[in-house]
Chains A and B, each alone.
Chain A
Amino acid sequence: MTGNSLPVCGQGGADEALLTVRGLRVVIDGLHILHGVDLDVAPTGVTALLGRNGAGKTTTVKAVMGLVPRTGSIVFAGTELSGLPTHLVVRQGIGYAPEDRGIFAGLTVAENLRLAERDGAPAYRLVHELFPELKQRSGQLAGTLSGGQQQMVAIGRTLLNGNRLIIADEPTKGLAPKIVAEVADVLARVAESVPVLLVEQNLAFVRRLGGACAVLADGRTAHRGDTAELLADEAAARRLLGVGSRRPAGGSAVPVTTEVAL
């Protein structure tokens, strides 16, 4: 639909990218899910991966992690990842907070974090400073945590090690508006020191974090550029994401707390 010509605009050129994905293809059970995803993650700040439901965002991220069979080139800081099993990909210095949070419900919060320890000096101070709640609840079974607390565990695990890249897949899904705001704060802070690849449906959230973006459609990269520019361009946003910067649905008279619902 959008053709293969990829408008590359703004910054985020391939040269100095930390993670470079080219021609990524994924076939599962004979289904072609990705056919040609290109993606660059800048060495600083947030890079957003956007697209409609089923566009292939999660699959792209999983392919980078080696969680699904993939072909194509995935270069991270000079290392080719496409042949590596997942645990070795992670050991390159990538922290991953998956879409469904990947919490081990039967383990305690402390055990969930301990499992993620990779190098000698896990940064518990940082994690506990960001999420004091995790310290208080360290003995609680993670399965009984609320959704927001679980999300904190998931993000906390990525911060424990000296990672060079953090990948967060829809960290706000199913979260209450207040927590969404909190998560946005945390990610903004994290992105100051470690680059973040963010998959997100909530455009308000993406806008808040800014940075570069790539938009997927039907298993292909349909657009790459700057997030703010994309969201400001009504026509492009509608074409690529199916929405404009619109008013809340339902025509309620109540002043809604902005676009959380998007």
Chain B
Amino acid sequence: MANPASAADPVPAVTATGDPVPAVPATADPASAAPVPAGAAVAGAAAAGAVPVLRLRGLGWSVRGVPIVEDVSFDVGEGEFIAFIGPNGAGKTSLFNLISGIHPASHGKVELDGADITSEPVHARARRGLGRTFQTSSLWSGMTVADHVRLAAQAAAGPMASYRIWRRAARYAGQVADTLERTELAHRADTLASALSHGEKRKLELAVLLVSDPRLILLDEPMAGVSAEEVPALTALIRSVHRDLGRTVLMVEHHMDVLLGLADRLAVMHHGTLLALDTPAAVMADTTVQQAYLGEAL
């Protein structure tokens, strides 16, 4: 699992800036190396010369010496949708935590819109327009649905808006109504988050995200535990965020059919490294991915 080459040189020689072809780090393990044939320019990928929304270089994180994410480098272009797959424990959530600043990177660099944010705290990154959801629903259980959206709207108005202790809290009526409409939660506006069904909680997570209108959205298994019945609506919602609003989205998901309909590119993680990053078709065709992730068809 350890990668001596990258440990010695945390930022591998990367293709020149603006190269539309995603960088796939070579791994030391020849068995799992079999790199995906460098994909053709992908729809939505950054045009040559433009600064990518997100750029990772040699990003890594280890806990007590054990590497959990190793040497991940890639660029995400404006308006792109990248889906992450990989076996359990591959490091997908950990990678999202590194990008959003929940964990400090052990080595490597994270750039958002060309600015180096590697050492910035969570809230500073969020203020730059980086929004995310969590693998297990992370909500304010004692607050109502509308309150969630209001708080998010307030936060989006900048931190100073929240320090106005002498003012009455604004209602943000228009924004709240819009967002709840869009996420089909309007009828639950006054329900406590703890009383929502699983699928509704997932929608609420998205609502909180949407109202703050982030440039880059990280979604961690938004469909986990959602019953088959609710999957299509949620999928449609995510699609509209991506397509209609033109947001850049990174998403981890095990539901293959969902992400195949959404993703421009597919990233495969394995043992903390980026095994492949390419068009869905190319990735699905790859035997290494088949072995590592999909297994025999069920």
Contacts and interface: CB of A to CB of B under 8 A. Distances in A.
A–B direct contact (CB < 8 Å): yes
Interface in A155-192: 170, 173-182, 184
A78 B157 CA distance: 64
Interface in B252-298: 254-258, 260-262, 280-281, 284, 292-298
Contacts of B256: 177, 248, 256-257, 260-261
Interface stretch (B6-14, B22-30, B175-183, B222-230): B222-230
A165 B117 CA distance: 53
B90 interface: yes
B228 A257 contact: no
A179 B258 contact: no
A250 B197 contact: no
B21 to A, nearest CB: 21
Contacts of A258: 297-298
A93 interface: no
B258 A174 contact: no
Contacts, number: 127
A249 B229 CA distance: 11
B231 interface: yes
Nearest to B292: A178
A154 to B, nearest CB: 13
Interface in B225-248: 225-232, 235
B257 A176 contact: no
Contact of B227 (A53, A176, A252, A260): A53
Contacts of B227: 52-53, 201, 242
Interface size class of A (residues with CB under 8 A): 35 or more
A249 B258 contact: yes
B298 A53 contact: no
Given A208-B298, A251-B261, A261-B255, A174 B221 contact: yes
A145 interface: yes
Interface in A189-217: 201, 203-205, 208
B284 A149 contact: no
Contact of A262 (B63, B90, B198, B228): B228
20 contacts: A52-B229, A53-B226, A53-B230, A149-B89, A176-B87, A176-B88, A179-B87, A181-B298, A201-B227, A201-B228, A241-B229, A243-B229, A249-B232, A249-B258, A254-B260, A258-B297, A260-B254, A260-B298, A261-B256, A261-B257
Given A176-B85, A243-B229, 12 more contacts: A53-B225, A53-B230, A147-B89, A176-B293, A177-B294, A178-B87, A179-B87, A181-B297, A181-B298, A243-B228, A250-B235, A250-B258
Question: Which 4 A-B pairs have CB atoms at the shortest separation, nearest pair first?
Answer: A250-B261, A146-B89, A178-B295, A248-B257
